[in-house]
Amino acid sequence: MPNDPNRNGLLDPGDLIAVFSDRTDADRNGYVDDIAGWDFFQDDNDPADATRFGHGSGEMRWSAAEANNGEGDAGDCPRCMLIPIRAADSFIGEVDDFAQGAVYAVDRGASVIQEALGTLDNSTFAMRALDYAWRRGVVVSASAADENSRHHNVPGTNNHALYVHAVRYDGENVRNSTTFLNFNNCTNYGAQLVLSVAG
């Protein structure tokens, strides 16, 4: 494919990074060449997941994929602008990496932070990062996790996060279903849930 500087077969943020990185922090924000977001897991300027379908890049595609470009289905918000941020290698991550990513997003003008993340820990920093987003009018949509359990999934169960789980149709397919509000067993449940979305 022509115009594919990172040679991965796609036109993506990695191409911008390959072309425009000059190893300087020209905007003096503390992040060298953060042309297309930041990776708080590996502390570099390439936030792409290392796996073919990671929770970050996969969720990003589902959320904001363009229509009519030959790359598959349109996302829920195909005209939305994105700031790619990586906070973990998979679904389970370190809560302070999430917190750094949240502060980074707020400081760069994000109006929504969407995370598909669960952490084994919690911290004052993470709670303050959510407070910081809330005080600036930034919605943090947080995953209820994927364990078919009612345990509390951090950071989603912290204050000022919109804790979300998934519902789906109840049959083998749409045509022979009786409801679209069936619990999706690849998600968690419990009293702290604020919102259910189609999964």
Residue 74 burial class via C-beta count within 10 angstroms: exposed 0-12, middle 13-18, buried 19 and up:
middle
Helix (H, G, I), strand (E, B) or coil at 174: coil
Label residue 174 exposed, middle or buried (CB < 10 Å: 0-12, 13-18, 19+): exposed
Q: Who wins on pLDDT, 185 or 29?
A: 29
Q: Which residue has the higher pLDDT, 150 or 127?
A: 127
Residue 39 pLDDT grade (very low, low, confident, very high; cuts 50, 70, 90): very high
pTM for this prediction: 0.87
pLDDT digits (tens, 9 = 90+) for 75-119: 888 888 889 999 998 888 999 999 999 999 999 999 999 998 888
**How far is Cα 188 from Cα 146, in angstroms, rounded to an integer?**
6
72: left (phi over 0), alpha (psi -120 to 50) or beta: left
pLDDT digits (tens, 9 = 90+) for 153-193: 899 999 999 999 888 899 989 899 999 988 888 788 888 88
User: How does residue 59 score in pLDDT terms, banded at 50, 70 and 90?
Assistant: confident
Give the least confident one: 65-79, 129-143, 148-162.
Answer: 65-79
